[in-house]
Chains A and B, each alone.
Chain A
Amino acid sequence: MKKFTILKGIAAVMPDINIDTDAIIPKQFLKTIHRKGLGKSLFYNERYTEEYNKNVDFILNKDPWSNSSIIIAGENFGCGSSREHAPWALLDFGIQCIISNSFADIFFNNSLKNGLLLIKLNKNEIQILSELAMEKESFTVDLINQKISVKNNEINFNIDPIIKDRLIHGYDDIEITLKNKQLIVDYENNKNKFHIWKNIVYEKK
């Protein structure tokens, strides 16, 4: 996973609530067997007209926001299906950080696993940042010091120290878990004693 320390960039405001994963990346793009290449289809239905022309009213089609690396979104961002294609598409487009009042559970987990930083702020703070974003100000998101700076404003954010540590170092989750392999083996042995009925035994063909 890519390490995340400091991000400088432009922020696009998408104030709608309940932006779901179908809107982030519609199902027809889920047929891929790879992670890369989804960025061009991010927010497909809003971004393009039915004739595959750019929708000039959509924020990510307008300069300078076509180069955004941050999205400031309405609450419950990422609700809906569990598709990890949503964070893949956002990252492939260049979005590395999303700020919102709240995020849907599965999307939250999926994003962190891919190094996409999600920051929860209160509505007042989001309002301030949204106005600055609309003025095309450049944002600096400093994960180490948990601080967003824009112009003369500074907003501190909270983040779970474990998540922060993982993002900063770009740790691989599986590697961390496998350090505890013995614990897993012990659990399985124990299970065989007390919950033997859980095992699946295949009948011979």
Chain B
Amino acid sequence: MNTPKTLFDKIWGDHVISKTNKNQYLLYIDRHLVHEVTSPQAFEKLKLSKRKVRKPELTLGVADHNVPTTLRYQGINSIKDKIAKLQVETLEKNLSDNSIKYIPLTSKNQGIVHIIGPEQGFTIPGTTIVCGDSHTSTHGAFGSLAFGIGTSEVEHVLATQTLVQAKPKNMRIIINGKLKKNVTSKDIILKVISKIGTAAGTGHVIEFSGSTILDMTMEERMTLCNMSIEAGAKAGLIAPDNKTFDYLYGLPFAPKEKNWELAIEYWKKLVTDKGAIFDQEFSFNIEELKPFVTWGTSPENGIAINERIPDPKQLNNLEKRQSIEKSLNYMGLKAGDSLKDISIQKVFIGSCTNGRIEDLRAAANYIQGKKVSHNVQALVVPGSGLVKKQAEAEGIKEIFLEAGFEWRDPGCSMCLGMNPDQLASGERCASTSNRNFEGRQGRGGRTHLVSPITAAASAIKGFFVDVTEEDL
């Protein structure tokens, strides 16, 4: 009998071209996404070394990080920052010179790279997917082995369609139970990271399984896998099922006709065998889970909304204590504070974590007929043109506008403050993005990571709200 294999082992095994050395493998890469920030130096060196792109059709490009979220109809001219504009122009030129498909800024399909991959059916189960961006882990929700790479690796993939990789270890996180109303997969992942820490996943691929995962929509699964990187993991992974297949059927890049059937036949085998061994395993029951909010400058600094900020003095580890004291200082908070008393100035709903149609639906549903607090500026940035179009068709845009939210064009926006959408120093933001590092959303800005429902409800109240208790 064959030894039982994990889902990860199966995908990995089918992509190994050769073992180059002890625990180093040459791995075939099926799909490659590129964006403006991490690719110019790769194309530059490729050209200098007089090398060609090996399989241009396996790469897809889009600009998202640098682009303003207003005046999109102007295309590249909407970018007023000259250096940013040059970077996007460089992307466009590099892709066109190398016959790589590009989704232009003015296309209805443009959006954040990790949102457009699945939307276009470019992301499919059983493949290896890479991108010069750490949140590539998002695509693991489809049962693909997807991970972020650096620019040298981008160049390596362009030139060879392969990567040299050490084989990661297997971790499983089992999640069981039915979520309370208004608690979401974002709250689950914040809870998980608060328990296992930001370094727990280092060197591992995390497979998420359990009844909660089976119940989740594809959007919820993507949110979960998206933040696997915040747990330090190489990738997140969920076994594909009928929901996955339904999502992908008929999408532009998805296999068609006979190939679709062959694909399904293979995809159905993509499950962890009974008895397969994981190097590490964690298990959570989320029946009682409350909405989560981060209070510090690491994604692991999260608490349930009804808890109080922990006291660093109770920690034995000196380094941890100092780092928490530093982050509380930066955040302008004290041990023992309740987040419910803290007022916010900005709300950001968007990013590759929570910029999908379901996220916008959930938020809009909660705020219908209410008004944003007069102290708050609230932004909704759909993750892609298709999300935006869908939301407009469903009347979600109107709900946001009537409540006093700003309705923007797709892009990374305030998730990283590399484009005009930023926090000012000292401003406090309820954000549906994935990182609360110092200065992430703008120098001196204070980020609290939350779910879209919590963000929307907090925009209305002007401070953090427990959306499982209050009906506004």
**Chain A interface residues toward B at CB < 8 A:** 15-18, 20, 22-23, 26-28, 30-35, 45, 50, 74-76, 79-84, 102, 104-106, 109-110, 113-114, 160, 162, 172-174, 176-178, 180, 183-184, 187-188, 191, 195-202
Whether A23 lies near B134 (C-beta < 8 A) is no
Segment of B370-378, B385-393, B435-443 engaged in the interface with chain A: B435-443
List A contacts of B202 (CB < 8 A). 76, 102, 104-105
A-B contact pairs, 16 of them (CB 8 A): A16-B322, A27-B418, A31-B87, A32-B40, A33-B90, A50-B425, A79-B199, A79-B232, A82-B150, A83-B38, A105-B202, A176-B164, A180-B17, A184-B54, A195-B14, A195-B126
Q: Is B195 an interface residue (CB 8 A)?
A: no
Interface hub of A50, A74, A83 (most chain B Cβ within 10 A): A83
Whether A105 lies near B232 (C-beta < 8 A) is yes
Q: Is B243 an interface residue (CB 8 A)?
A: no
Whether A84 lies near B152 (C-beta < 8 A) is yes
Q: With A80-B437, A110-B152, A195-B266 given, is the CB distance from A17 to B83 under 8 Å?
A: no
Whether B259 lies near A113 (C-beta < 8 A) is no
List B contacts of A176 (CB < 8 A). 164
Q: With A31-B37, A33-B41, A50-B425 given, is the CB distance from A105 to B156 under 8 Å?
A: no
Q: How far is A187 from B439 in the complex, measured between Cα atoms in Å?
A: 45
Nearest CB of A to B328, in Å: 14
Nearest CB of B to A200, in Å: 5
Whether A34 lies near B84 (C-beta < 8 A) is no
Whether A183 lies near B18 (C-beta < 8 A) is yes
Interface hub of B18, B41, B148, B322 (most chain A Cβ within 10 A): B41
Nearest CB of B to A159, in Å: 13
Interface membership of chain B positions 27-60, coded 1 if the CB is closer than 8 angstroms to chain A and 0 otherwise: 0101000000110110010000101001001100
Nearest CB of B to A185, in Å: 10
Nearest CB of B to A199, in Å: 8
Q: Is B362 an interface residue (CB 8 A)?
A: no
Q: How far is A26 from B162 in the complex, measured between Cα atoms in Å?
A: 30
Whether B234 lies near A113 (C-beta < 8 A) is no
Q: With A80-B437, A174-B155, A178-B160 given, is the CB distance from A75 to B28 under 8 Å?
A: no
Nearest CB of B to A177, in Å: 5
Nearest CB of A to B329, in Å: 13
Q: How far is A84 from B45 in the complex, measured between Cα atoms in Å?
A: 14
Q: Which residue of A lies closest to B15 (CB)?
A: A187
Nearest CB of B to A51, in Å: 12
Select which of A23, A183, A196, A198 is within 8 A of B17 by beta carbon: A183
Select which of B18, B66, B159 is within 8 A of A174 by beta carbon: B159
List A contacts of B21 (CB < 8 A). 162
Q: Which A-B residue pairs are the 4 nearest by beta carbons? A: A110-B150, A33-B40, A113-B152, A84-B150
Select which of A17, A82, A197 is within 8 A of B259 by beta carbon: A197
Nearest CB of B to A49, in Å: 11
Q: How far is A12 from B26 in the complex, measured between Cα atoms in Å?
A: 36
Whether B150 lies near A106 (C-beta < 8 A) is yes
Q: Is B310 an interface residue (CB 8 A)?
A: no
Q: How far is A27 from B9 in the complex, measured between Cα atoms in Å?
A: 35
Q: Which residue of A lies closest to B298 (CB)?
A: A18
Whether A74 lies near B38 (C-beta < 8 A) is no
Q: With A50-B443, A80-B435, A202-B101 given, is the CB distance from A114 to B152 under 8 Å?
A: yes
Q: Is B263 an interface residue (CB 8 A)?
A: yes
Q: How far is A200 from B127 in the complex, measured between Cα atoms in Å?
A: 12
Whether A82 lies near B133 (C-beta < 8 A) is yes
Q: How far is A124 from B433 in the complex, measured between Cα atoms in Å?
A: 37
Interface hub of A74, A105, A177 (most chain B Cβ within 10 A): A105
Interface membership of chain B positions 120-143, coded 1 if the CB is closer than 8 angstroms to chain A and 0 otherwise: 001010110000111000000000
Q: Which residue of A lies closest to B197 (CB)?
A: A76
List A contacts of B150 (CB < 8 A). 82-84, 106, 109-110, 113
Q: Is B323 an interface residue (CB 8 A)?
A: yes
Select which of A23, A30, A178, A200 is within 8 A of B57 by beta carbon: A200
Interface hub of B124, B320, B440 (most chain A Cβ within 10 A): B440
List A contacts of B22 (CB < 8 A). 160, 162
Whether B156 lies near A174 (C-beta < 8 A) is yes
Nearest CB of A to B449, in Å: 14
Nearest CB of B to A30, in Å: 5
Q: Is B468 an interface residue (CB 8 A)?
A: no
Interface membership of chain B positions 298-325, coded 1 if the CB is closer than 8 angstroms to chain A and 0 otherwise: 1000000000000000000001101100
Q: Which residue of B lies closest to A45 (CB)?
A: B439
List B contacts of A198 (CB < 8 A). 30, 124, 126-127, 255, 263
Q: How far is A33 from B87 in the complex, measured between Cα atoms in Å?
A: 6
Whether B319 lies near A184 (C-beta < 8 A) is no
12 new A-B contacts, CB < 8 A, other than A16-B322, A105-B203, A110-B153, are A22-B439, A28-B418, A34-B44, A45-B443, A76-B199, A76-B202, A104-B202, A113-B150, A113-B152, A172-B49, A177-B160, A195-B14
Select which of B51, B83, B439 is within 8 A of A31 by beta carbon: B83
Whether A23 lies near B199 (C-beta < 8 A) is no
